[in-house]
């Protein structure tokens, strides 16, 4: 994971933009359930009335409301409203108010001040002061058993108080009158009747009530008639009873009262409801649109960052592989390097998209959902915890099962690529030996191994989604079951339950997203490790930090100074103590038996390998002290196996010199004896060359490879058995042209045929990695038995005795 993230450093600004867009998307997604809850709770259940604080209320209702608050709270509430009457507003405003609130024609109103409605803190305080009194008010105004019971209790209490007062006054009257005063008996009735005006503890309004008046009075008149101390005691008892009620129920009851009050005032509550639902719907649509745009843009930037990361990795791997020495190619097979450059990087690119779109988004959505859930209800959060824990356990188990298989898959892909490449490139040999059946079986073995592993991984991972869906569905069932009980108990609203379910699904989906990525992560992790192996591998052939420069007038003198070489990991030297000088204008030929080290010796000059002992210099400068680019810029290398690139004849000849002129290209083709067959083609130098030169013969391929080296016009030519596919006549003609046209360059020729090297100024005879003979053809025939044996195996005694002029004329025959 860390290695994959390391590749994204270049795209850090894009990643920051993506994170910002994902935050916007998450905000929109997390806000939608809240709006759904509001539509159900407020828009449907509360009729669009979103606050228990009435924006407008009748004066009579305000008087009743303030009966159930303390004096200080009463002043706070009244300060938040302004009274609307004919005396407080002008005529035009009055007419507008009457149209808006028809009840104004009969009764004045209190209107909530704009400064209060726009002040969130003031509205919160007002809501806390007014919610419970409004619930009490609604309860007492409703024609139900509770209201009747309260009224009966208050009436009986007040009648008992009146009776007690009359008894007290009667006793006082008896003590002040003498016995026998029968004449004044009739007057006692008047005094007794007057007792009602002095009832203890009653206000003036209630003191004059008879029993019949008490029975007819409403509960609010009775409460208003109560002494302040008694009324506050009663309110305290009521508040104690309401303390056990959920705040949501208190608020809903208060809202129900506000809705009924609006209806009494003449406000169209249906319009309020429809406007609220429309407004919430429009906001939901707007949020959805913003969320969709954020998701699209995040996807766009994620795709660009992932594609750019893949492009950069392919470029880095390619540049690294181009700098590999033969030692690294021995370590990483060609098939493996192709797989790492294509399939492995594709895995990382796919994971990068998933990471930027899902892994970054999932925790944002999950954490946001958890916060929202705690705001709604905390009694059901255990359900989410159980669901998440189950998901994590499933993912970890699956991860540990399939991780080793993902590593195996990449190795099997390498093997399949290797087998496919060998079969496709070796089709002629396979057909010639009738080995089609064997190769089909070999391919089937590699293919079936990969198929079986993929099937195992897919079967295991296919179990994940059903298990995740089961967890999601069980979570929904538990939430509905638990939430149904809370709704029944009045502890939760239906809209809140719906929002809770949605947030729970978002939390679980966020974990599902991470689980989906967990399918790709193991394989991407393996791929990242394989790519990192290539990028961090130490190249055996390296330039010095401050390489030296060849002299400006470099001639191309190559000096092997007691050179020895052995392959990495080998015990014995392949080349031992090679010591000679190759001069400009001369041809140095190397001949020897198969496996004597001729090609290995030539591979040391362009630094495909570095010498183990000794040194190789060009114009006195050790080639290890020169940059590889500068060194190889001096060389014209023609490998043993002619290699052409897809394109045209012209593009292949000028491959080493992009700025070569047409004259230089044609000159190179002429020297390489390729001009004749090029001119025979209808498109000439623009003729198409297939991949690997598959549409030209072996001799034509070699001649074009030689022309490519000549067009570069280097100081040193290396022909590694590059004339083997040429007929004798072409071979002689080509060598004569080379001698004439490149007379100022140092030429190395590795050959198997004596006829190819007869004219060489210096012939080196290799045997088991050592120089066993050095000199001209005539000198070696006399002094080197190995050379003489090679010569006699190819030419007769008579042919060996021919003079040089005959040899130059092409009269030798193999």
- With a threshold of 0.95, does the pTM exceed it? no
Most confident of 30-34, 183-187, 219-223: 30-34
pLDDT digits (tens, 9 = 90+) for 45-103: 888 888 888 999 998 888 888 888 888 888 899 999 988 888 888 888 888 888 888 88
**Whole-angstrom distance, CA of residue 737 vs CA of residue 9:** 56
Q: What is the pLDDT of residues 458-484, one digit of tens each?
A: 888 778 778 878 888 888 888 888 888
Least confident segment among 256-260, 445-449, 740-744:
740-744
pLDDT of 784 higher than 80 = yes
Q: What is the pLDDT of residue 483?
A: 82
Ranked by mean pLDDT, the top range of 101-105, 148-152, 196-200, 442-446 is 442-446
User: For position 198, what pLDDT does the model report?
Assistant: 37
CA-based R_g, the chain, Å: 51
Residue 640 has pLDDT above 50, yes or no: yes
CATH architecture of 558-808: 3-Layer(aba) Sandwich (3.40)
Check residue 507 and give its pLDDT. 84
H helix or E strand, kind and range, residue 474 = helix 464-488
Residues of CATH 3.40.50.300 domain(s) within the chain? 558-808
pLDDT in tens, 157-191: 555 655 665 666 666 555 544 444 334 433 333 34
Measured N-to-C along each axis, helices 12-38 and 494-536 cross at an angle, to the nearest 10 degrees, of 170
Tokens at residue 477, please? 């069932």
Q: What is the 3-state secondary structure (H, E, C) of 693-735?
A: HCCCCHHHHHHHHHHHHHHHCCCEEEEECCCCCCCHHHHHHHH
Per mean pLDDT, which of 107-111, 470-474, 558-562 is the most reliable? 558-562
- Residue-wise pLDDT for 668-691, tens only, equals 999 988 888 898 888 889 999 887
Q: What percent of the chain lies above the pLDDT cut of 70?
A: 86
Second-level CATH architecture of 2-19+298-536: Up-down Bundle (1.20)
Mean pLDDT value of segment 149-157: 60
User: With 80 as the cut, is the pLDDT of residue 144 above it?
Assistant: no
Q: Which residue has the higher pLDDT, 297 or 242?
A: 297
What distance in Å separates the CA atoms of residue 162 and residue 11, rounded to the nearest whole number? 89
Give the per-residue pLDDT at 490.
Answer: 67
CATH 1.20.1560.10 maps onto the chain at: 2-19+298-536
pLDDT at 405: 82
| Burial group, residue 589, by CB count within 10 angstroms (0-12, 13-18, 19+) | buried
pLDDT digits (tens, 9 = 90+) for 561-603: 999 998 887 888 899 999 999 999 899 999 988 888 898 999 9
């Amino acid at each position: 994971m860390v290695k994959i993230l390391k590749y994204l450093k270049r795209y850090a600004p894009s990643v920051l933009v993506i994170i910002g867009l994902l935050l916007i998307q998450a905000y929109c997604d997390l806000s939608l359930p809240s709006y759904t809850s509001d539509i159900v709770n407020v828009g449907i259940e509360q009729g669009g009335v979103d606050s228990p604080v009435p924006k407008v209320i009748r004066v009579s209702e305000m008087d009743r409301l303030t009966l159930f608050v303390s004096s200080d709270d009463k002043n706070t509430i009244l300060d938040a409203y302004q009274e609307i009457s004919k005396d407080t507003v002008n005529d035009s405003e009055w007419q507008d108010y009457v149209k808006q609130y028809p009840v104004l024609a009969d009764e004045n109103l209190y209107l909530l001040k704009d400064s209060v409605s726009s002040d969130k803190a003031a509205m919160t305080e007002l809501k806390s002061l007014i919610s419970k009194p409004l619930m009490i008010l609604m309860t007492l105004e409703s024609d139900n058993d509770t209201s009747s019971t309260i009224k009966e209790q208050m009436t009986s209490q007040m009648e008992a108080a009146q009776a007690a007062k009359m008894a007290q006054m009667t006793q006082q009257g008896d003590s002040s009158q003498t016995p026998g005063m029968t004449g004044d008996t009739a007057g006692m009735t008047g005094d007794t009747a007057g007792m009602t005006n002095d009832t203890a503890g009653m206000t003036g309004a209630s003191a004059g009530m008879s029993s019949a008046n008490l029975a007819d009075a409403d509960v609010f008149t009775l409460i208003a008639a109560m002494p302040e101390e008694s009324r506050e005691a009663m309110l305290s008892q009521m508040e104690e009873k309401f303390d056990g009620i959920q705040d949501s129920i208190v608020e809903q009851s208060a809202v129900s009262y506000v809705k009924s009050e609006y209806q009494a005032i003449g406000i169209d509550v249906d319009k309020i409801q429809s406007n609220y639902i429309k407004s919430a719907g429009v906001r939901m649509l707007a949020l959805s649109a913003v969320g969709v745009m954020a998701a699209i843009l995040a996807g766009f930037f994620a795709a660009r960052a992932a594609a750019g990361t893949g492009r950069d990795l392919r470029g880095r791997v390619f540049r690294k592989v181009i700098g590999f020495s033969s030692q690294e190619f021995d370590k990483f097979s060609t098939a493996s390097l192709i797989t790492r450059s294509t399939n492995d990087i594709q895995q990382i690119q796919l994971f990068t998209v998933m990471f930027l779109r899902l892994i970054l988004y999932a925790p944002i959505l999950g954490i946001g959902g958890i916060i929202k859930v705690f705001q709604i209800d905390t009694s059901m959060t255990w359900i989410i915890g159980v669901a998440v824990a189950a998901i994590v356990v499933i993912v970890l188990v699956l991860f540990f099962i399939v991780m080793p298989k993902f590593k195996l898959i990449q190795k099997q892909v390498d093997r399949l690529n290797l087998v496919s490449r060998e079969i496709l490139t070796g089709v002629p040999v396979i057909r010639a030996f009738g080995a089609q059946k064997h190769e089909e079986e070999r391919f089937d073995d590699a293919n079936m191994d990969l198929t079986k592993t993929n099937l195992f991984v897919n079967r295991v991972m296919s179990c994940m989604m059903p298990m995740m869906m089961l967890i999601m569905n069980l979570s929904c069932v538990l939430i509905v079951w638990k939430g149904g009980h809370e709704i029944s108990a009045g502890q939760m609203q239906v809209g809140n339950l719906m929002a809770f379910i949605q947030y729970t699904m978002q939390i679980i989906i966020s974990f599902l997203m991470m689980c989906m990525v967990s399918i790709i992560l193991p394989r991407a992790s393996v791929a990242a490790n394989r790519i990192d192996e290539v990028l961090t591998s130490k190249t055996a052939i390296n330039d010095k930090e401050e390489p030296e420069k060849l002299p400006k007038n470099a001639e191309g003198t190559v000096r092997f100074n007691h050179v020895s070489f052995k392959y990495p990991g080998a015990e014995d030297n392949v080349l031992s103590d090679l010591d000679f000088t190759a001069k400009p204008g001369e041809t140095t030929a190397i001949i020897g038996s198969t496996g004597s080290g001729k090609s290995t010796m030539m591979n040391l000059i362009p630094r495909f390998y570095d010498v183990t002992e000794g040194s190789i210099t060009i114009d006195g400068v050790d080639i290890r002290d020169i940059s590889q680019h500068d060194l190889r810029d001096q060389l014209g290398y023609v490998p043993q196996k002619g290699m052409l690139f897809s394109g045209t004849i012209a593009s292949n000849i000028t491959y080493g010199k992009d700025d070569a002129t047409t004259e230089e290209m044609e000159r190179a083709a002429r020297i390489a004896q390729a001009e004749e067959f090029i001119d025979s083609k209808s498109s000439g130098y623009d003729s198409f060359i297939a991949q690997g030169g598959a549409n030209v013969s072996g001799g034509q391929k070699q001649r074009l490879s030689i022309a490519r080296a000549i067009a570069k016009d280097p100081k040193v030519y290396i022909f590694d058995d590059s004339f083997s596919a040429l007929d004798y006549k072409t071979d002689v003609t080509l060598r004569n042209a080379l001698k004439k046209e490149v007379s100022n360059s140092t030429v190395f020729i590795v050959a198997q045929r004596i006829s190819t090297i007869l004219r060489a100024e210096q012939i080196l005879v290799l045997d088991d990695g050592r120089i066993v003979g050095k000199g001209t053809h005539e000198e070696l025939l006399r002094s080197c038995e190995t050379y003489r044996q090679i010569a006699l195996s190819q030419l007769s005694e008579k042919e060996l005795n021919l003079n040089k002029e005959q040899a130059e004329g092409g009269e030798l025959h193999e």
